[in-house]
Amino acid sequence: MSDLNLTNGSQALKSIAAIITLSLKNSAMARKTKQQAQETRQHIIDTDLRLFSEFGVSATSLAGIAAAAGVTRGAIYWHFKNKAELFDAIWTLSETKINDFESEYQAKFPDNPLHVMRELLIYMLRLTTTDTQWRSIMEINFHKCEFVGEMLPSYNARKALYFYCYEQIEDSLNHSIQLGLPP
């Protein structure tokens, strides 16, 4: 009887070890799969950016993006609901760059909003000449996107952002005047 319990105990330990090993492998696979999914998403965004820049948003189809990216349309729909969401993803890239730079300079020069504004504008102009991705995003947004149909919500979001930026500029100028800085 004790030999039977020892055998059953040994088998139970082996089973537990197998379950733990399988669990660890699945965990590693999930991370790898998540990383691969992120890489695929970024590849789709990069391809989308290139095609939107080359052909315009309206003339670029999701099937064309899928073919150019070497993925299925299902892969695109896994990451993005529609073309407008793809457009928003590339727009977010530009917003992130600007927001990060602005936050950094506001921290460096909290009492000089004019200096922050000046540096931000210079940074944006430099990006236009030195950063291909930024230049493509600006070209798409201002010259190669018709904000109609499914793109109309993106237009409304951009419009709200522009008004917010205008308010921020006005606040910065008013703050500068309060600090006695020449506008």
What tokens does 93 get?
């890239």
CA distance 62 to 52: 11
CA distance 34 to 31: 5
Give the confidence band of 174 by pLDDT, cuts at 50, 70, 90.
confident
CA distance 165 to 158: 10
Q: Mean pLDDT over all residues of the chain?
A: 82
CA distances from 168 to 15, 114, 128, 165, 174 (A): 63, 12, 22, 5, 10
CA distance 150 to 45: 18
Give residue-wise pLDDT tens across range 119-152.
988 998 998 899 998 899 888 888 887 877 787 7
Give residue-wise pLDDT tens across range 150-159.
877 877 777 8
HEC sequence for the chain: CHHHHHHHHHHHHHHHHHHHHHHHHHHHHHHHHHHHHHHHHHHHHHHHHHHHHHHCCCCCCHHHHHHHHCCCHHHHHHHCCCHHHHHHHHHHHHHHHHHHHHHHHHHHCCCCHHHHHHHHHHHHHHHHHHCHHHHHHHHHHHHCCCCCHHHHHHHHHHHHHHHHHHHHHHHHHHHHHHCCCCC
Give residue-wise pLDDT tens across range 58-67.
899 999 999 9
User: Residues 134, 128: contact at Cβ < 8 Å?
Assistant: yes
Give residue-wise pLDDT tens across range 41-91.
999 999 999 999 999 998 999 999 999 999 999 999 999 999 999 988 988
Give the confidence band of 30 by pLDDT, cuts at 50, 70, 90.
very low
pLDDT at 169 > cutoff 60: yes
pLDDT of residue 66: 95
pLDDT of residue 19: 62
